[in-house]
Amino acid sequence: MTLVIPDEIIKSTKMSITELTQEIAIMLYQKGKITLGQASRLADMSQYQFQHLLASRQIELHYDETDFSQDIETLKELGRL
């Protein structure tokens, strides 16, 4: 799925596309809508980098068994496990 954000909205945020995407990933992660793995992929960062970004904003990880299971499944799908 592709999300189209009008240029005027992007310009009004005074953020780059990368920054805006990272903010969306942080918000969705913080609200528990996506896993850590999904958020880091959306932000186009490694999980380590994304965790560092969260820590810099004092946002706690909420990584549980469900997140772990989903990440294992994702790794299997990607052929990395």
* pLDDT of res. 1: 84
* pLDDT of res. 63: 73
Backbone phi and psi for residue 80, each to the nearest 5 degrees, phi listed first: -105, 5
Which tokens is 69 given? 């299971």
Please give the average per-residue pLDDT across 44-60, as a whole number: 96
* pLDDT of res. 39: 96
Contact 32, 62 (CB under 8 A): yes
Which tokens is 50 given? 């994304």
